[in-house]
Amino acid sequence: MKVSVKVPATSANLGPGFDCLGLALPIYNTVTIEETVLPGTGIEINLMSEGEEVIDEAAFDNIPRDENNIVYKAVEMLYNSIGQEPSELKINIQSQIPITRGLGSSAAVVVGGLIAANKLLGSPADETALLSIATEVEGHPDNVAPAILGGFVLASQEDDGSVIYRKLDWPQEWDITVCIPDFELSTSIARSVLPEQVPLQDAIFNAKHLAMLIQAVNTKDEKLMQAALKDKLHQPYREKLVPGMKEIMDAFKHEDGVLGCVLSGAGPAMLIISHKYDLDKIKSIVKEIWEAQSIKVEIKTLKIEQKGAEILE
């Protein structure tokens, strides 16, 4: 028996929502898990890119193909949670989501592996349990929650390990333009530049702007959204890792119809949220800034993917 699961890309943080906000995007990874019938064959992990997305084939070379693979680790945790050990497994990962660009590629394969394995096991784990395991593997729920649920999601991992989460209604008339540069930025490096402690005023700043962001989304308040998408906890520190980031953000500060520009997850991809704005102008501005620094970029305007992970028949 084998099971395939299609999982959307995700963009986390959205400025002030550090480690607690994320939304799903219609770019996908598909994970297929098959229990092999021959004993002693061990684990087989295959990685393939598909479509026309910016996928660096060389990036696959650094991904483990054994028990250290993040998908296998997640699957093993699920098996262990019901008192079992994984049998011989064949895991195929078809990737459209660019790796190490801040679009939740690892969250997508973790979620896909968990849901596929859960189906193979007879679905012993519910949505909450799967989310908890995925969060434990990823370290925080901002990517895995929208990968499972789809849409725009607020999620918090509590001190006892449980995850509180709610799916919120994102205004469908708000466009999301995803700008994906041709260079990588690993999450570990992006995390390494963050301070262990931040000034109290910065924490207060983010709390205020996160509250404004949630209210702006709930009420479709564009003026409030323009004020809300500011951050002092992660973007100022990561700016030095993303050439052109400051210039791109500055370029859209006073453009009517542009609600905000944020780093996607840990970066280096960026999101520009707009309504009734010239989308070709967005592309032109971003390309001009990045190409001046010899950086190629893929730009696409997308609607939020309301479906989360989906088992393929």
pLDDT digits (tens, 9 = 90+) for 202-240: 999 999 999 999 999 999 999 999 999 999 999 999 999
The CATH topology of domain 175-302 is Alpha-Beta Plaits (3.30.70)
Name, in order, each residue with C-beta under 8 angstroms of 162's C-beta and a sequence gap of 6 or more: 132
Of 36-40, 49-53, 228-232, 282-286, give the lowest mean pLDDT range. Answer: 49-53
Give the number of C-alpha atoms closer than 13 A to the C-alpha of residue 289, restricted to the C-beta side. 19
pLDDT digits (tens, 9 = 90+) for 118-173: 999 999 999 999 999 999 999 999 999 999 999 999 999 999 889 999 999 999 99
State the Cα–Cα distance between residues 164 and 128, nearest whole angstrom. 9
For 191, the enclosing helix (H) or strand (E) is: helix 187-192
The two three-digit tokens of residue 232, written as one number: 């002092």
The two three-digit tokens of residue 27, written as one number: 């770019």
pLDDT digits (tens, 9 = 90+) for 93-131: 999 999 999 999 999 999 999 999 999 999 999 999 999
The per-residue pLDDT for 35 is 83
Q: Which residues pair with 299 in a beta bridge?
A: 179
Domain map (residue ranges) of the chain:
2-169+304-312, 175-302
Name, in order, each residue with C-beta under 8 angstroms of 189's C-beta and a sequence gap of 6 or more: 241
- 2-169+304-312 placed in CATH 3.30.230.10: yes
Give the position of tokens 């193909």: 65
Whether the per-residue pLDDT at 40 is higher than 60: the answer is: no
State the Cα–Cα distance between residues 236 and 35, nearest whole angstrom. 46
pLDDT digits (tens, 9 = 90+) for 256-304: 899 999 999 999 999 999 999 999 999 999 999 999 999 999 999 999 9
